[in-house]
Chains A and B, each alone.
Chain A
Amino acid sequence: MNEIVVQSLSQRYDVQNLAASLAVLAPRGRDAAVVKQLLAREAIETVVVASLDGLAAIITDGIGAVLVTEEALAGGGGALQIAVGEQATWSDVPFIVLANGAITNRSDQASNRLNALQNAVLLSRPLHAEELIRSVRSALTARGRQHQSRTQMEQLRLREKQLHESEAKFHAIADFVDQMIWSTTPDGLHDYFNHRWYEFTGVPEGSTNGEEWNGVFHADDQARAWDRWNHSLATGEPYEIEYRLRHRSGEYRWVLGRAQAVLGANGEIQRWYGSCTDIHEIKIAEEQRQLMLAEMNHRVKNSLAMVHAMVSQTLRQAESLVDAKASIESRISMMSQAHDRLVQSTWTNTHILEVVLAALAPHSNGEGRTTIGGPDLPIGSKQALALTMALHELATNAIKYGAWLGEIGQVDVNWKVENTAEGEMFIFSWIESDGPKVQKPERRGFGSRMIEQALAGYFSGTAELRYEPDGLSFDLKAPLAGLTG
Chain B
Amino acid sequence: MTSDKSALPAVLVVEDEPLIRLEAVDTIEDAGFRTYDAGSADAALKILEAQDDIGVLFTDVDMPGSMNGIKLAGLVRERWPSLAIIIASGIVDVDKAQMPEGTLFFPKPYPTTRIIAALQDIAANLRS
Contacts and interface: CB of A to CB of B under 8 A. Distances in A.
Interface stretch (A95-103, A169-177, A257-265, A310-318): A310-318
Interface in B1-51: 17-23, 26-27, 30, 39
Interface string A458-477: 10000000000000000000
B22 A453 contact: yes
B18, B19, B62, B108, most chain A CB atoms within 10 A:
B19
Interface of A: 297-298, 301-302, 304-310, 312-313, 316, 382, 386, 389, 449-450, 453-458
A316 B31 CA distance: 13
A453 B18 contact: yes
Main secondary structure on A side of the interface with B: helix
25 contacts: A297-B92, A298-B91, A301-B92, A301-B109, A304-B90, A305-B17, A305-B20, A305-B108, A306-B20, A308-B110, A309-B22, A309-B23, A310-B19, A316-B30, A386-B19, A449-B22, A453-B18, A453-B22, A454-B19, A455-B18, A456-B18, A457-B18, A457-B19, A457-B21, A458-B18
Given A301-B108, A305-B17, A454 B90 contact: no
B90 A298 contact: yes
A164 B18 CA distance: 77
Contact of A312 (B62, B90, B91, B112): B112
B22 A308 contact: no
A463 to B, nearest CB: 11
Interface in B81-111: 90-92, 108-110
A386 B18 contact: yes
A454 B16 CA distance: 11
B109 A304 contact: yes
A268 B35 CA distance: 74
Contacts of B21: 457
Nearest to A457: B18
A457 B30 CA distance: 22
Interface size, B (range): 10 to 19
A239 B90 CA distance: 40
A312 B27 contact: yes
B58 to A, nearest CB: 14
A457 B13 CA distance: 14
Sorted nearest first, the 8 A-B pairs with minimum C-beta distance are A457-B18, A301-B90, A309-B23, A308-B109, A454-B18, A454-B19, A305-B109, A309-B19
A312 B29 CA distance: 14
Contacts of A316: 26, 30
Contacts of B20: 305-306, 308-309
Contacts of A450: 19, 22
B26 A306 contact: no
A308 B106 CA distance: 15
A428 B26 CA distance: 27
Given A308-B110, A457-B39, A302 B22 contact: no
Contacts of A454: 18-19, 22
A387 B21 CA distance: 17
B86 to A, nearest CB: 16
Contacts of B39: 457
A387 to B, nearest CB: 12
A306 B22 CA distance: 11
B90 A308 contact: no
A457 B39 CA distance: 8
B17 A306 contact: yes
B17 A313 contact: no
A316 B91 CA distance: 27
A105 B62 CA distance: 119
A308 B27 CA distance: 12
Contacts of B18: 386, 453-458
With a 10 A CB-CB cut-off, give which of B23, B27, B62 has the most chain A CB atoms.
B23
Given A301-B91, A301-B92, A456-B18, 4 more contacts: A312-B23, A313-B19, A316-B30, A454-B19
